[in-house]
A = this chain, B = another copy of it.
Amino acid sequence: MAQATGPSRPQPATLGDVARLAGVSIATASKALNGRSQVRAETRERVIEAAERLSFRPNQLARSLLAGRTGTVGLLTSDLEGRFSIPILMGAEDAFGAGEVAVFLCDARGDAIRERHHVRALLSRRVDGLIVVGSRTDPRPSLGRDLPVPVVYAYAPSEDPSDLSIVPDSVGAGRIAVEHLLACGRTRIAHITGDPGYCAARERAEGALAALAEAGLEPVGEPRFGSWSEGWGRTATAMLLDRRHEVDAVLCGSDQIARGVMDVLRERGHRVPEDVAVMGFDNWKILTSAARPPLTSVDMNLEEVGRAAAQAVFAALAGSPRSGIEQQGGRVIIRGSTAPLS
Contact = CB atoms under 8 A, between A and B. Distances in A.
A194 to B, nearest CB: 13
A57 B321 contact: no
A328 B75 CA distance: 29
Contacts of A64: 61
Taking residues whose C-beta sits less than 8 angstroms from the other chain, chain A's interface range is 35 or more
A202 interface: no
9 contacts: A9-B149, A10-B148, A61-B125, A62-B65, A75-B105, A80-B89, A80-B93, A81-B90, A97-B106
Given A80-B90, A86-B81, A124 B59 contact: yes
Interface string A311-335: 0000010011100000000000000
A121 to B, nearest CB: 7
A104 B104 contact: yes
A143 interface: no
Contacts of A229: 290
Contacts of A148: 9-12
Contacts of A103: 104-106
Contact of A80 (B86, B106, B118): B86
Given A256-B286, A260-B290, 10 more contacts: A9-B149, A57-B124, A65-B65, A81-B86, A102-B104, A102-B122, A102-B125, A229-B290, A231-B290, A256-B290
A204 interface: no
A35 interface: no
Interface in A47-104: 57-62, 64-65, 70, 72, 75, 80-81, 83, 86-87, 89-90, 93-94, 97, 100, 102-104
Contacts of A286: 83, 256, 286-287
A84 to B, nearest CB: 12
A105 B133 CA distance: 15
Contacts of A123: 12, 57
Contacts of A37: none
A269 interface: no
Nearest to A294: B231
Contacts of A316: 6
Interface in A182-226: none
Nearest to A231: B290
B320 A6 contact: yes
Nearest to A10: B148
B105 A60 contact: no
A7 interface: yes
A80 B12 CA distance: 30
A62 B70 CA distance: 12
Contacts of A105: 75, 89, 93, 103-105
A270 B274 CA distance: 28
A159 interface: no
Interface string A102-113: 111111000000
A126 interface: yes
List 7 A-B pairs, minimum CB-CB distance, nearest first.
A5-B319, A230-B290, A105-B105, A57-B124, A6-B319, A60-B125, A61-B65
A77 to B, nearest CB: 9
